[in-house]
Each structure stands twice: as C-alpha cells, then as structure tokens.
Chains A and B, each alone.
Chain A
Amino acid sequence: MRHRSSGLRQAKTYLNHPLAAAPLLAASFPAGAQETRFNMTRGATELSQQVFDLHMTIFYICVAIALVVFSLMFWSIVHHRKAKGVVPAQFHGSMKIEILWTAIPVLILVAMAVPATRTLIAMEDTSASELTVLVTGSQWKWHYKYLDYPIEFYSVLATPRAQIANEAEKSPDYLMAVDKPLVLPTGKKVRFLLTADDVIHSWWVPDFAIKKDAVPGFINETWARIDKPGLYYGKCAELCGRDHGFMPVAVDVKTPADFEAWAAQQVALAEQAKAEAASAGPMTMDELMALGQQVYDSACVACHQASGEGLPGVFPALKGSAIATGEPGAHIHIVLFGKAGTAMQAFAKQLGVKELAAVITYERNAWGNAKGDMVQPADIVAAIEKGE
C-alpha cells in the first residue's frame, strides 16, 4: 500500500520530465527503438516507415474532409438560426449535388487504396528470406526457435511481481522487459513463422510494423528487415487469458557479426547445460526449496497464485491438493507433460531438470503441504526418459 503512490510518482517523473529521465530512457531504449506517446512509431524498417507515411496521409485527408464538412456545418449553425430571424428555405434535394458528393469520395478512396495496396503486397511477400524464426505463443510466454541454428528458448516477462503489486518501485522498462529477448541481425530479411500451443496470441512489434496472430494448429508468416541495431519492445495483442497484459515481446537487434557471435555462444551454452543436467548430483532440501520458489514465482504463480490457492473455478489450488500431497510420480508427470484440454502446460521442454526437481519439491512442501519428501534431478531425468 505504502508503495502505491511512489509507483505513480515515479511514472509521472518519468513521463513529465523527459530530460530528467533521459539516462533512464537511454538505458531502456538504446539506439533504434523510439518511444512515442501520441502517435504511431516510424519504426526501424523500410516498411514500418511506409506504414507510418500511409497512416499520416490518410489521417491528413480525413482532417481535410472534416474541416470542410464541419466548417460548413458550424457556419450554418452560426448564421442560420431562428434567433437571428432567418426564414427557413424549403429546398429538399438536388440530384446534381447528390451525384457530386457520391463521386468525389469514391475518387478520394481510390487515391487511398493505391498506396495501401502497394504496401500490403510488399508486407505479405515472405519469399527470399535469409533467416527463419518460429515464434510460438503459449499462456503467457513466447518461445523462439531458430530454424537455421540449433537455438530455441522461452522468453517471459522479467518485471518482478512486487512491482506489479505496487510493493516495489516500478522500473522504466516496467512490463516491457523479458528474461531472454529474441536476438536478430540487422540488414537480413527475417521470416517469422507464428503458431500457438493453447489459445490465440498475437505477436506485435510496432517498430517492425508486424502484428500477426499466433493460432494454435496453424502457421502464419510475416517478415522484417531491420535497419538499426537496438532493443525493440512489443506485446501480445490478442486477449489470451488472465495474464494477457503480462506477455511482452522484446527483440534485441545486433549487427550480423555480433549476431553470429551470440549464436555461437548460445550453442556452446546449450551444450554445457545439457552436460550439467546429465551429471546433476543430488541437491539439499534448502537448495531445492530456494530454487523452487524462484521457479514457482516465474512459471507457476500466474495461475496457481503465490498462496498456492489458485483461483477457485478457474485454476486449481496446489495447497492441500491431491496431486501435490499424493505420491510424487503423478505430480512429476503432470508438471512434465501437462494436462490435455486444460491450461496446464508441459514444462519438460520449458525448464531445466534442476528447476523441475526444485519446483516440484517446493510445491510439495510450501503452504503447509508438509510432505517432507524431495524430488531430485535424477528423478526428473528418469521420468523424461520414460516419457509420457
């Protein structure tokens, strides 16, 4: 409660005094991305610039029409009033003028449709791409898989829950930052394939003028060629359930050389993590509980809640639940492989074996679920080998 006002004060400072907040802005919006408050961004691609120009052109045409029509209307309101003793005319139609004000709008529309069609056709041409990324939405995170590299990872909101609950100062990248942004090279035609695991999501990065729905069971395509390196923010744009508002997109655009270095590093890290997972030794209860809480707060809390009580009628409670207090096998199974036809996802692909072992142990020993037993990384490895 105490922090609520400070959150707002910080927001106000940030917004009202752009100069004072310049260092913050520099930190959160590196070269390339630009923040707008009243208008669409010009973005960072040739097409986003075209879209912006199209938007402004149509807007100015609308303003011009509005000025003409409303001026006539207000001129009439001022001059043709009973209070001035005007005797009303009795004309009530004119074929000539009706034809005129049907034909002129048609011509204006044709003038609008030509550039719109041209830009649209360019936007939908995904041929000759140089890099392909498969983007998969699920409640409430994005998964990125590079089809040209052995790299794939999940990307989730990095803003701490305490900031959302007004218990901590809000950082400048509040609700925008993610743990692992998508990394792309400049100057290359990147093709995005979009799909979803559960409900419909929509992957939107304003600076690329890309918004495309991620539909479960179907694959959509779009593309971008990004001119400037920088960190670009976006959001899920299609209502996708409780945490729809907490599902940001962040794209870190690097020069091709930096991108290749990053990719090599990722491949090495993945190998290393795999080796570590295979040889992971037993962990202590304290280690499991500490890591488990950390994982729970990022991966599970949105549905099952910090209290473990879920949302009655929507998301089941873990506190005192049959699974979390029953034998470990069933508990491990549902966490690893999910439950079909519900929002419960398969986490085997999403988390490492240590994290999985820790979070299951945590769920069995938090909120008064005092089972006292431990699930070890080796149990997880065995369960994964056994499969669904």
Chain B
Amino acid sequence: MSTQITGTLDAHGHLDHDHKPRGLARWLFSTNHKDIGTLYLLFSLTMLFIGGSLAMVIRAELFQPGLQFVDPHFFNQMTTVHGLVMVFGAVMPAFVGLANWMIPLMIGAPDMALPRINNWSFWILPCAFGILLSTLFMEGGAPAAGWTFYAPLSTTYSGDSTAFFVLSVHLMGVSSIMGAINVIVTIWNMRAPGMTWMKLPLFVWTWLITAFLLIAVMPVLAGVVTMVLTDKYFGTSFFDAAGGGDPVMFQHIFWFFGHPEVYIMILPAFGIVSSIIPTFARKPLFGYESMVVATASIAFLSFIVWGHHMFTTGMPVVAELFFMYATMLIAVPTGVKVFNWVATMWRGSMSFEVPMMFSLAFIVLFTIGGFSGLMLAIIPADFQYQDTYFVVAHFHYVLVTGAVFGIIAAVYYWIPKWTGVMYNERLAQVHFWCSLVSVNMLFFPMHFVGLAGMPRRIPDYALQFADLNAFMSVGGFLFGLSQLLFLWGVVRCMRGIGERATDRVWEGAQGLEWEVPSPAPYHTFDTPPVVK
C-alpha cells in the first residue's frame, strides 16, 4: 500500500488510490472491509431468497387442509431449514455485512482491525450453508427436528443428516465468533481521535454489545450441537434419561444460547433505526445515553430469561415466577427505546423517503411483536400460547418486520454511499407498500389461528383454520414476490443506474460516513479524521 502513491487528492483531501485486484481474486482474497461487507450482504440476500422459497413450500402446503404437495417429513425439513437459513444465513450475515461496511466509516477507521480473519469468517459461510443445504438432496433428507432441534427428536430419532447439520452449525459459529471479535477489536482500538465512547453512533454501540453477546453464546450453541452429535453417534446420554441424562437439559442449554441470539438479531436493527430516524426528522436522537443504557440492559436481561421458552416443560413454580418477572422487565428498556424514537420525531421536520418508511413500519410492527412478547411472558396465558401460531406470529413480527425491515431500511439508507447512485425512489416506495400490506396479511392472522388453537409445525390442520390459512398463504406469496422489487432496486444501484448521489446523500444526515465521497472510495480514512 505504501509503495504506491498514484492516488489523487479528492475534494475532501483523501488519497483515493483504488488499486484493488481484478476478477474473482478480488473477492476470494479480499481483506477490504467494503468488499467483504458487500460479499456478506449479497450472501445474505441469496439466503433470504433460498429461505423464502422454503417458506413458500410451507405456505403452499398450508393453503388448504389435507396434504397436497409434500410429505409431512419433508414439511418438517422445510420448517427446520427455513428457520436455520433465515436466522444464520440471512439475518446474522446481513448485520455482519452492514457492520463491515459501516463501522469503519462511522468511527473513522481505515478498515477492520483483523482483515484476514474478516476474509476467513466470510468464506466459511458459503461452505457451512453448502453443507447444510446439501442435506436436502440426501437420502432421508435434511434435519427435520425444527430449528430448535430438541433432543431426543434430534438425536436418537433423527436421520443421518444430523452429522452434516452439526458440522455446518459449528462452521457458522466459528464465522460468527470471528466476526464478533473483529467488531470488538475494531471499535475498541480504531476509533478516530476524538471519537469518544459517548460520541459513537448508536449503530456502533448496538453492534458492540451484540458482538459481546455473540462471543458469550455461540460457544454454548457449539457445546449443545456437540452433545447432540455424541449422543447420536458415540453413545453418550446427555439428553437420554435411560442413561442418566435429561432431554429438558437440552432446552436449557439451547435457550441459554437462543434467547441472547434473538437479541443478536434485533439490537443492530435498533441501531439502524436510531440512525435513520434523526436523519429524516432533521433533529438529534432523543435520549442518546438512555438508548445506550437500554441496549446494555436488554443484553444483560437476555441472559436470565431463557426459561420463558420452556414454561410447559414442568419447571418448579419458583423458577417459573423468576423467569416470568425477568421477562416482563425486558418491556421496560424496550419501551424506553420506542419512546425515545417517538420523542425524536416529535417537533422534527420529517420527510418520508423509503429508509424512513421502513423505519416507521419497524417501530409500529416491532412494537406489536413486543406486545405479543409481553403477553407470552404471562405464564398462565403462555400455557395456551406455547407452541401455537401465536408464537409464530410473535417472532415473525420481531424478526421480519423487526430485523428484516431494519436491514432493508439500512440498505436503502446507505446504498447511495456504497454504489454512488440513488436507488429509484418510486420503485422503492412500491416495494415498501407491497411489503407492508402483504407482510401483515401473512403474519397478522397467525395471532388469530394461534389463539383459536392451531399448533405450529403442522402440515395439515382442522377445518376451522382453513379460511385464515388460505388468506395467509396469499399474503406469503405476495410478500415473497414483493422482495423481487427489492432485488431489482438493488441490482439497478449495483449496475450504476440512477441519479448520482451526493456525498451527504440525505439532507439531515450526520456522521463520518457522510464525509467521504459517494461511492465510498476503496480506501477511506487512511489519515484518521479528527472528531470534535
């Protein structure tokens, strides 16, 4: 890097020496945070469509009562792999991609702290998902015990794809842990002079806390899948009562990972929305410090609420009460966040470009998911909700209209910075409204069928649920098709079609990422900026 001084000084005084390798080698060997961010985001988009296709199989089978298209065993494979692909393949890598692109730009760092690990942690992912998805084509099929793979269904009673599944989860874990280490080291050490902790953009703060959660819980997941592996193939009895084990212990270990995991999938989205709302309200974020404290509180609470996934397993009353109270407490910091966003909008000067629209939808729909979460915490009622479509509705509101809408908002918000061209606003607005309507057709009625008694993970149902299921399936197909508009919009930007973006892009945008040219040059902040 130092030997070549052929760049030109641009208007902002940055050396813009763009000497990346060409062709495949650029992507395969890249240690550039922007290239790796792009790889992560494209991988995530691919997984979104693969996971979405599996969901379409599910919705097609559930369109009518009776078995129409697939065998129940294959249906179980669809729900299992859909969950794994969306959680580990779509949502988590999308956030890592955004972290890669934006954290160095936001804190004034030239790159991520550990660029080679960065390359490795990305390239593990296609291997992991290649292994996982290959099981769909094997005799006996893919894992079919649900993405939560409860023992002993996933051990004694599972197919031989279990070994492939365990290996792929290990790889995903390695990738996530390395990504998290990279984020922490970068934020800790590479902030520009003057970028003190309490000046960090909230997206950086939320990601820092997320990274600590990842390091804390991914090894727990690795532990539990290894126990599944040895129970199935090597004669151990961790989860087999006949050998002195306990099937419920699996759930304790899994959810000790699993509950922080769901915050891993939402905290960065909080950070995104906290960046977007002030930009389009043209007003500083309300309660910055309380946002940081609320994020940290949610992260802490996430470690002591795992039992709320297991209220029907037969816990002692005292344990049930503890988990109920702790879970209800989460509503407090989460509420603070929502109130702060509304207060940020209050007496602002708002405009409603697509990133703002997705963020507003996020606030309303994520909050609906939060309310159903509060209802689920109330144990006597949870006995009726547990393992029904009410739960499916709840976590799709927080994950799809929460995490995924947050990611889509982030893509529209930052893609002018990445590609140098504005996305097509009209196309994006059509995408937004189609998504908003169809996603609610898809997930809102799930509350009703769940309350009326439809269990989750069933390929066929009693006739009383027929109408709403047909309606939800139509919503599902429309939501799936709507995302093709998103794909179209992204491809247009990547091909450079569209209006040139200015450096600041948005009138109300604040932060270092808007100080660099659009598109952001291959190397930025070789000389650290000074933050006042």
Which residues of A line the B interface, CB within 8 A? 4, 7-8, 10-12, 14-16, 35-41, 47, 50-51, 54-55, 58-59, 62, 65-66, 69-70, 72-73, 76-77, 80-83, 86-94, 97-98, 101-102, 105-106, 109, 112-113, 116-117, 119-121, 123-124, 139, 163-166, 170, 172-176, 198-200, 202, 204, 206, 209-213, 215-218, 220-221, 233-246, 311-314, 341-343
Contacts and interface: CB of A to CB of B under 8 A. Distances in A.
A343 B139 contact: no
A185 to B, nearest CB: 23
B284 A90 contact: yes
A228 B287 CA distance: 55
A15 B65 CA distance: 13
Given A51-B381, A81-B351, A200-B153, A313 B342 contact: no
B212 interface: no
B282 A313 contact: no
A210 B363 CA distance: 34
A212 B466 CA distance: 26
A63 to B, nearest CB: 8
Interface stretch (B321-329, B434-442, B511-519): B321-329
Considering residues A55, A102, A314, which has the most beta carbons from chain B within 10 angstroms of its beta carbon?
A314
Nearest to B468: A37
Nearest to B287: A93
Given A165-B67, A218-B246, A313 B314 contact: no
A165 B375 CA distance: 37
B8 interface: no
Given A218-B248, A239-B145, A8 B378 contact: no
Interface in B304-361: 312-314, 317, 320-321, 324-325, 328-329, 331-332, 335-336, 338-339, 342-343, 345-352, 360
B384 A89 contact: no
Given A313-B140, A313-B141, A174 B462 contact: yes
A318 B338 CA distance: 59
Q: Quick one: which of B387, B461, B467 has the most chain A CB within 10 A?
A: B387
Contacts of A12: 466-467
B281 to A, nearest CB: 7
Interface string B64-79: 1111100111001000
A142 to B, nearest CB: 15
Contacts of A239: 76, 145-146, 150, 153, 387, 456-457
B29 interface: no
A11 B65 contact: yes
B134 interface: no
A81 B280 CA distance: 10
Given A202-B387, A245-B458, A212 B312 contact: yes
B451 interface: yes
For the complex of A and B, 10 pairs with smallest distance between CB atoms: A217-B241, A313-B140, A245-B458, A313-B139, A220-B314, A62-B371, A11-B466, A92-B284, A89-B347, A88-B349
17 contacts: A35-B452, A40-B451, A47-B380, A51-B384, A69-B339, A76-B347, A77-B350, A83-B351, A86-B349, A88-B349, A93-B290, A200-B153, A211-B312, A237-B455, A241-B153, A242-B73, A245-B460
Contacts, number: 326
B383 interface: yes
Contact of B335 (A47, A105, A165, A314): A105
A242 B332 contact: no
B357 to A, nearest CB: 11
Contacts of A210: 383
Contacts of B452: 35-41
Interface stretch (B86-94, B155-163, B171-179, B182-190): B155-163
B242 interface: yes
A169 to B, nearest CB: 11
B379 interface: yes
B368 interface: yes
B14 interface: no
A342 B73 CA distance: 16
A80 B160 contact: no
Interface of B: 64-68, 71-73, 76, 138-141, 144-146, 150, 152-153, 156-157, 159-160, 240-242, 246-248, 281-290, 312-314, 317, 320-321, 324-325, 328-329, 331-332, 335-336, 338-339, 342-343, 345-352, 360, 363-364, 367-368, 371, 374-375, 378-381, 383-384, 386-388, 448, 451-453, 455-464, 466-468
B73 A121 contact: no
A341 B233 CA distance: 11
B463 A312 contact: no
A179 to B, nearest CB: 17
Given A51-B384, A73-B364, 7 more contacts: A36-B453, A62-B375, A76-B342, A87-B349, A116-B379, A163-B66, A311-B71
A211 B150 contact: no
B314 A212 contact: yes
Given A73-B363, A80-B345, A172-B463, A109 B329 contact: yes
B21 to A, nearest CB: 44
A58 B378 contact: yes
A193 B320 CA distance: 19
B149 to A, nearest CB: 10
Given A87-B349, A102-B336, A343-B157, A116 B73 contact: no
A118 to B, nearest CB: 9
A347 B311 CA distance: 33
Given A82-B350, A217-B241, A124 B317 contact: yes
Nearest to A81: B350
A193 to B, nearest CB: 11
A306 to B, nearest CB: 12
A77 B347 CA distance: 9
A58 B370 CA distance: 13
A233 B351 CA distance: 52
Nearest to A16: B467
A93 B289 contact: yes
A274 B380 CA distance: 43
